Amino acid sequence: GFATIDTDREKRTGLPEVIYASGKTAEQVAQIAERMHQKGIDVLATRATPEMYEEVQKLIPGAVYNPLAKTIIYRESKYENDKGYIAVVAAGTSDMPVAEEAVETARFLGNRVESVYDVGVAGIHRLFHKLELIRNARVIIVVAGMEGALSSVIGGLVDKPVLAVPTSVGYGANFEGVSALLGMLTSCASGVSVVNINNGFGAACQASLINKL
């Protein structure tokens, strides 16, 4: 086969192998999903199109698709982390696909998640209405495009680790997410670290490792 499943990975890294569907055919995604399923491994595919879901569903009828997150999930594991929840906070409605990728991934990894959307800094009163929910999380994922200012503001308001996800939302001098990325990296608030542009999945992995501590 074209891809060997690294079943040992979860023990080694605390994170199971998942399918990054981008650039694969619907058939390839479905085959890998089935192979994992047959070995009793839970399935998560990210960046998955509806066509891919159709193919997967033929082989794994119970699989669930989130069209906003573009995730396919089939999960049998009963593991739930009961230490606390991860907050996923997004600035604008256009950032929601990346935020949802984080939400779905974090849940797949056994975490409780609270999501708070549309609280960008251009109307900062909206953020304050949700501050308690954010402050009570154990880890906070902040998803924002354009200037990415939200992670700085939240970083200065909470005493928990903030994981910032820049998105490619915006145009012109946004440079497909570079502006948000740079803003988050040079954040004037401490306690903020950053993952790649649009990488909701990666932020959720990191948040899950932290939430298990």
Ligand X SMILES: Nc1ncnc2c1ncn2[C@@H]1O[C@H](COP(=O)(O)O)[C@@H](O)[C@H]1O
Q: Which of residues 35-94 bind its own copies (CB under 8 A)?
A: 83, 91-94
Does 14 contact its own copies by CB under 8 A? yes
| Interface residue with its own copies, options 39, 79, 123, 132 (CB under 8 A) | 123
Contacts 24+ apart (CB under 8 A), 62-70: 63/33, 66/100, 66/104, 68/96, 68/97, 68/100, 69/97, 69/100, 69/101, 69/103, 69/104, 69/200, 70/21, 70/46, 70/97, 70/101
Tokens of 18: 């998942």
Within 170-189, which residues bind its own copies (CB under 8 A)? 170-189
Nearer to ligand X, 27 or 83 (CB): 27
The Cα 53–Cα 198 span in angstroms is 21
Q: How far apart are CA 203 and CA 213, in angstroms?
A: 16
Decide if 50 contacts 67 (C-beta within 8 A): yes
- Minimum separation from the CB atom of position 58 to its own copies (A): 23
Do residues 72 and 56 make contact, with C-beta atoms less than 8 angstroms apart? Answer: yes
Draw the binding track, 143-172, toward its own copies (x: CB under 8 A; -: no contact): ---xxxx--xx-xxxxxxx-x--x-x-xxx
Tokens for 190, please give them.
Answer: 């401490």
In the complex with ligand X, the residue whose CB is nearer, 14 or 136, is 14
What distance, in Å, lies between the first and last C-alpha atoms of the chain?
A: 36
**Interaction of residue 110 with Mg ion, rule CB under 5 A:** no
| Residue 121 found at the interface with its own copies (CB under 8 A) | yes
d(CA 178, CA 163): 17
Residues that bind ligand X (CB under 6 A): 3, 17-20, 46-47, 92-94, 190, 199, 201-202
The nearest distance, CB 20 to its own copies, in angstroms, is: 8
**If contact means CB under 5 to 8 A according to the sort of partner, which of ligand X, its own copies, Mg ion, none does residue 19 touch?**
ligand X
Binding of Mg ion by 155 (CB under 5 A): yes
Nearest residue (CB) to Mg ion, 35 versus 130: 130
115 binds its own copies, rule: CB under 8 A: no
